[in-house]
Amino acid sequence: MKLNRRSLLKLSAAGAALSLTGLPAFAAIDELVIAYNVNLPSWDPTVGPSAVNPTIQGIYQSVFDQYILQQPDLSPAPGLLTEWGWNDDRTQVWMTVREGVKWHDGSDFTAEDVAWSLARVANPDTGSPIQFVWGTLKNHRVEGNKVIADVAQFDPTIFKWMYFLTGYVLPKAYYEKVGAEGFEAAPVGTGPYMVEKFERNAYVRLKANEAYWGGAPEFKTVTIKFVTDSAARVAEVESGNAHVTLEMPYEEYDRLKNGPLAGVATPVSDIGMIFLNDIDVMLDPNVRKAAALAIDKQTIIDRLLSGYGVAIDTLQTPEYEAYDASIKVGYDPEKAKELLAASGYSPENPVKFKIQTTKGFKPKDYEMVQAIVGLWRKVGIEAEIEVYEIAKHYELRAADQLAPAAFYNWGNSVGDPTTSTGFAMFGPSPHSVWDGADLIEKIAPLWGEADEAKRIAGWKEVDRYIAENALVIPLLQYVQPILHAPGVKVVPHASGALLPHLMTRG
Amino acid sequence: MFWQKLIARIGTTAVTLIGVAVIVFVVIRVVPGNPVAMMLPPGATEADVARLTALYGLDKSIPAQFLIWVQGVLQGDFGTSITTRQPVLDLVLGRLPATLELSIMALVMAVIIGGIAALTGTRLRGTKAEGAIDVANGMALSVPDFLWGLALILLFGVLVPVFHISGRVTPSLDLPFTTGFYLFESLFRLRFDLWADIVSHMLMPALALAIPLAAIIGQLLKQSLKETMHLDYVTLSRTKGYGENHVITREALPNAILPTLTLVGVQFTFLIGGTVIVERLFSYEGLGNMAIDAVINRDLPLIQGIVILFAVIFTAVNLVVDLLYTVLNPRLRHG
């Protein structure tokens, strides 16, 4: 074919015809399209690996309700349970169940559903990854619109788990009727949206639950497209193919937020930290303290993350219950040099160890570790970087075989110190890294502490002890960037969950 | 003779697949990354680890696990995906049509683009146009498919947004399909609206896959044509008074195409391998996209299923190409 004006016009016409096949535009948003950063492997939010994947909880919370509602600032609020608590001697828990709620299939939501859901995840045979928490309750029973359960082992955080991972209520009658496979094919919840269409690895199309007990969502149809590549996600929203997206490089966020798009970037319950293992040179407190004091966190945040991050000195962020602003680990390279000198190290005779990190798993993770290694070098620490996959991190951590230092991120969307400092630092936990007996002694009594004020104060003391002895190096709290079309108002959730029912036309 | 060769070839293909199955099974179990370690939250106890390890059958020795898996495979059961909790066979067969359609479309595009480049380059040999085609070929070859994908997204997704950036079909459309072959079935059902939508989704990923392959085809075919154009029978056809276009397409091309055909077969398998990254980039719901998720989540049964299926496709394509070559090449056909 000769390439002339006529053939070019024909090609243009073909292109235009193709372009009319459904590309959405920003003008009138009838159907909200979200470019989401991860795939949804499974619809059961209570069992299997998906249930404990923090990045997909926003999708689950669109379709299912948790026992207790969690508000955008992480605080609990009445949800399917309107009231809850322990009896006086803490041998039983009681929960009052909301009345008048319907499942997506039109059937009534009842206290039976709550009791069954709790008993199901407490059963080891179901494959619940959080069975160790739900198993602390037993003999679940219904009394009117109340659910009662006996406490097998007192856990002060049990109600917090009811708005955390796997804390979802599923429909007893429907699940028993269709089974696990049927539920995967056609999930039913009580949440603000109903599943209309689901293509694995592609998209889920949601339809508003007009009878939602919390009020019908503003957008009647929402399509969540699974776009795992960040460049493609940005292109989706930049081209008008999607109205909202999240988790893109901060440079891209800055470029687009004041242009054709709007943006919101707020701190979320996810932190970057360096685990220190109680092996080799890390047994020397001077080395640990020097490593902590030599890191200029704020400069790293400013230079590498465009200022999007909050420097932290404990494993608690300002939103968490045990956050104590008075605990500080400053940037003091001279003090770091002094400490190292006391142990016989200097820039000319550096202490040597390995630091492991992921590369690309979290924003600028590898670059941050490179910067830290550079800062360490100046005070007399020579660290060799080893890049590993996140899967290897989990395996090494479970086997307590991490290097003396290992970069990692830690989410804690309920904000309780048990699920941050507790699980990260308690030696007997297979996932902790520092196993010192002194720390174990300090933490152990707090697991079952019934006095809430005393419990939180106890965790603050533990955090102070950890900071003073540099048993871990907290770095920063991450900020989640969200880009959206000007016609959409997005309410960010501190848990990091992107929730379409909180979005309105704006 | 032909049938003996065919049976022998099928035999070696079966041995290859068994070898792949053994290697994959062992390798994915010895590389770091344990699916149970990945799914357990930090508060889990050793007992929880043991309970879930047993639940997924990972507490047995590797040979014992392999035997169980083989017994299942022989009965058509490739196991259950750990992350999706769906039968592996259903998952991979459900995604296979999407990847096959994308690969075939990319192959067709590559053959057309590469063929046109080769024929044009041969026709215009010795001119500046030939040099320009060679330069374009070199550029196409030096950039990997996923980078072409990013460039196409920027060009046709953002700057001139005419094509869809992600997915396989617009979610709001009602699909009447009974097979996974959306592109072919939409044509068969005369649903040109759906066909246009599917093509609009497929064009960029297919083109990203096609460009490097088109360059290879263009280079090899042009080289073969160049050599053939100097042969006596071609000179004879010229002396008979045939025009240059006739000489190239009717006389030289049939002989020059054989090495290209072999190459296309081999490269097609690489092209299918390339879908892993390109499907991910374009969020195309094929096997490749699913494979990356499976690897990230250490979904061992799903990884096994996908790799085995890829291996079946690779060996089948090679088998078909070999047979086709035998049929098309008279020297081989007559023994």
Task: Identify whether residues A148 and A16 lie together within a single domain.
Answer: yes
Q: Are A204 and A195 in contact (CB under 8 A)?
A: yes
Instruction: Kindly list the domain boundaries of chain B, sorted by start residue.
Output: 2-74, 88-333
Mean predicted confidence (pLDDT) in B218-222: 92
* HEC secondary structure over A194-219: EEEEEECCCEEEEEECCCCCCCCCCC
Residues of B in contact with A197 (CB under 8 A): 171
**Owning domain of residue A158:** 5-189+487-505
Whether B40 contacts chain A with CB within 8 A: yes
Residue with tokens 């420097």: A311
pLDDT band at B48 (very low <50, low <70, confident <90, very high): confident
Smallest Cβ distance to A165: which of B41, B83, B283?
A: B41
Smallest Cβ distance to B85: which of A184, A225, A430?
A: A184
Smallest Cα distance from A131 to chain B, Å: 8
* Nearest-Cα residue of chain B relative to residue A236: B165
The residues facing A95 across adjacent strands are A84, A147
Residues of A in contact with B173 (CB under 8 A): 22
Cβ of B32 within 8 Å of Cβ of A229? The answer is no
Phi, psi of A363 (to 5 degrees): -55, 120
Smallest Cα distance from B9 to chain A, Å: 36
Quote the pLDDT of residue A13. Answer: 44
Quote the pLDDT of residue A2. Answer: 42
The more confidently predicted of residues B266 and A273 is A273
Task: Identify whether residues A493 and A464 lie together within a single domain.
Answer: no
Task: Identify whether residues A20 and A146 lie together within a single domain.
Answer: yes
Amino acid at B131: G
d(CA A351, CA A280): 11
Cα separation values, A346 from A280, A281, A320, B90, Å:
18, 14, 38, 61
The yes-or-no verdict on residue A18 having pLDDT over 60 is no
Cα separation values, A16 from A13, A236, A466, B298, Å:
5, 19, 63, 43
Tell me whether residue A178 is in a domain. Answer: yes
Tell me whether residue A248 is in a domain. Answer: no
d(CA A292, CA A279): 17
Q: Beta A262-276 vs A309-311: how paired, if at all?
A: unpaired
Residues of B in contact with A388 (CB under 8 A): 32
Task: Identify whether residues A83 and A152 lie together within a single domain.
Answer: yes
Whether B44 contacts chain A with CB within 8 A: yes
> Mean pLDDT over all residues of chain B?
87
Whether B168 contacts chain A with CB within 8 A: yes
Mean predicted confidence (pLDDT) in A405-424: 93
Task: Identify whether residues A493 and A436 lie together within a single domain.
Answer: no
B250-253: list long-range contacts, CB under 8 Å, 24+ apart: B252/B122, B252/B225, B252/B228, B253/B119, B253/B225
Tell me whether residue A208 is in a domain. Answer: no
Quote the pLDDT of residue A27. Answer: 56
Smallest Cα distance from A97 to chain B, Å: 28
Cβ of A394 within 8 Å of Cβ of B157? The answer is no
d(CA B212, CA B139): 9
Q: Which residues contact B112 (CB under 8 A, 6 or more apart)?
A: B214
Cβ of A22 within 8 Å of Cβ of B51? The answer is no
The CATH number of whichever domain residue A105 belongs to comes to: 3.90.76.10
Cβ of B162 within 8 Å of Cβ of A422? The answer is no
pLDDT band at A20 (very low <50, low <70, confident <90, very high): very low
Range with the poorest average pLDDT among A468-477, B33-42, B161-170, B253-262: B33-42
Smallest Cα distance from A99 to chain B, Å: 33
Distance of CA B300 to the CA centre of its chain: 22
Whether B335 contacts chain A with CB within 8 A: no
Tell me whether residue A240 is in a domain. Answer: no
Tell me whether residue A214 is in a domain. Answer: no
Residues of A in contact with B129 (CB under 8 A): none
Q: Are A301 and A309 in contact (CB under 8 A)?
A: yes
Residues of chain A above pLDDT 70, percent? 94
Smallest Cα distance from A396 to chain B, Å: 8
> Looking at A87-145, which runs of residues are DSSP E strands?
92-97, 137-143
DSSP labels, A248-294: --HHHHHHHHTTTSEEEEEEEEEEEEEEE-SSGGGGSHHHHHHHHHT
> Looking at chain B, which runs of residues are DSSP E strands?
none
Task: Identify whether residues A179 and A306 lie together within a single domain.
Answer: no
Residues of A in contact with B197 (CB under 8 A): 21-22
The yes-or-no verdict on residue B162 having pLDDT over 70 is yes
Quote the pLDDT of residue A431. Answer: 74
Residues of B in contact with A129 (CB under 8 A): 39-41, 44, 48, 52
Smallest Cβ distance to B293: which of A18, A39, A391?
A: A39
Task: Identify whether residues A421 and A499 lie together within a single domain.
Answer: no
Tell me whether residue A24 is in a domain. Answer: yes
Cβ of B84 within 8 Å of Cβ of A132? The answer is no
pLDDT tens sequence across A453-484: 999 999 999 999 999 999 999 999 999 999 99
Smallest Cα distance from A429 to chain B, Å: 6
B interface mutation test: which of A220, A221, A229, A238 has the most B CBs within 10 A?
A: A229
DSSP labels, B178-222: SSS-HHHHHHHTT-HHHHHHHHHHHHHHHHHHHHHHHHHHHHHHH
Please tell me whether the overall predicted TM-score, pTM, comes out greater than 0.90 for this model. no
The yes-or-no verdict on residue A1 having pLDDT over 80 is no
Range with the poorest average pLDDT among A288-297, A457-466, B39-48, B255-264: B39-48
Cβ of A129 within 8 Å of Cβ of B40? The answer is yes
Cβ of A398 within 8 Å of Cβ of B32? The answer is no
* Nearest-Cα residue of chain B relative to residue A422: B43
Smallest Cα distance from B322 to chain A, Å: 33
* Nearest-Cα residue of chain A relative to residue B81: A41
* Nearest-Cα residue of chain B relative to residue A166: B41
The residues facing A479 across adjacent strands are A267
Cβ of B157 within 8 Å of Cβ of A21? The answer is no
Smallest Cβ distance to A430: which of B44, B91, B154?
A: B44
Cβ of A431 within 8 Å of Cβ of B290? The answer is no
Residue with tokens 């936990």: A429
Cα separation values, A214 from A29, A75, A102, A220, A435, Å:
23, 17, 12, 15, 45
Smallest Cα distance from B311 to chain A, Å: 22
B70 CB-side CA count, 13 A: 15
Q: Which of residues 129-158 of B touch A (CB under 8 A)?
A: 150, 153-154, 157-158
The more confidently predicted of residues A3 and A62 is A62
Q: Which residues contact A502 (CB under 8 A, 6 or more apart)?
A: A72, A490, A491, A493
Domain total in chain A: 2
Task: Identify whether residues A440 and A498 lie together within a single domain.
Answer: no
Beta-carbon pairs below 8 A across chains A and B: 199
The yes-or-no verdict on residue A19 having pLDDT over 50 is no
pLDDT tens sequence across A63-80: 999 999 999 999 999 999
Cβ of A241 within 8 Å of Cβ of B161? The answer is yes
Quote the pLDDT of residue B1. Answer: 67
Q: Are B91 and B290 in contact (CB under 8 A)?
A: yes
Cβ of A165 within 8 Å of Cβ of B33? The answer is no
d(CA B298, CA A53): 14
The yes-or-no verdict on residue A28 having pLDDT over 80 is no
The more confidently predicted of residues A139 and B313 is A139
Which one of A76-85, B114-123, B219-228 scores highest in mean pLDDT?
A: A76-85
pLDDT band at B333 (very low <50, low <70, confident <90, very high): low
Task: Identify whether residues A462 and A491 lie together within a single domain.
Answer: no
The yes-or-no verdict on residue A23 having pLDDT over 60 is no
The CATH number of whichever domain residue A355 belongs to comes to: 3.10.105.10
The yes-or-no verdict on residue A4 having pLDDT over 80 is no
Mean predicted confidence (pLDDT) in B11-27: 87
Smallest Cβ distance to B33: which of A50, A202, A392?
A: A392
Task: Identify whether residues A472 and A491 lie together within a single domain.
Answer: no
Mean predicted confidence (pLDDT) in B153-162: 92
Residues of B in contact with A435 (CB under 8 A): none
Q: What is the dihedral of CA B236, B241, B244, B247, to 10 degrees?
A: -40
d(CA A60, CA A204): 11
Smallest Cβ distance to B200: which of A21, A199, A432?
A: A21
Q: What architecture does CATH give domain B88-333?
A: Orthogonal Bundle (1.10)
Whether B207 contacts chain A with CB within 8 A: no
Residues of B in contact with A127 (CB under 8 A): 52, 55
Task: Identify whether residues A173 and A319 lie together within a single domain.
Answer: no
Q: Could you give the 3-state DSSP secondary structure of residue A61?
A: helix
The yes-or-no verdict on residue B318 having pLDDT over 60 is yes
Cβ of A431 within 8 Å of Cβ of B172? The answer is no
The yes-or-no verdict on residue A340 having pLDDT over 50 is yes
Tell me whether residue A211 is in a domain. Answer: no
Cβ of B49 within 8 Å of Cβ of A197? The answer is no
d(CA A298, CA A305): 10
Residues of A in contact with B161 (CB under 8 A): 19, 23, 239-241
Amino acid at A219: F
> Please, is A122 exposed, middle or buried when counting C-beta atoms within 10 Å of its C-beta (0-12, 13-18, 19+)?
buried
Q: Are A205 and A198 in contact (CB under 8 A)?
A: yes
pLDDT tens sequence across A54-67: 899 999 999 999 99
Smallest Cβ distance to B165: which of A50, A235, A392?
A: A235
The yes-or-no verdict on residue A15 having pLDDT over 60 is no
Amino acid at A411: G
Task: Identify whether residues A279 and A174 lie together within a single domain.
Answer: no
Tell me whether residue A70 is in a domain. Answer: yes
Whether B19 contacts chain A with CB within 8 A: no
pLDDT tens sequence across A476-506: 999 999 999 999 999 999 999 999 999 999 8
d(CA A224, CA A202): 9
Quote the pLDDT of residue A397. Answer: 87
Mean predicted confidence (pLDDT) in B233-252: 86
pLDDT tens sequence across A178-216: 999 899 999 999 999 999 999 988 999 999 999 999 999
> How many residues are recorded in chain A?
506
Cβ of B82 within 8 Å of Cβ of A42? The answer is no
Structure tokens at A216: 């019908």
Smallest Cα distance from B329 to chain A, Å: 31
- Residue B148: count other Cβ atoms within 10 Å of its Cβ: 21
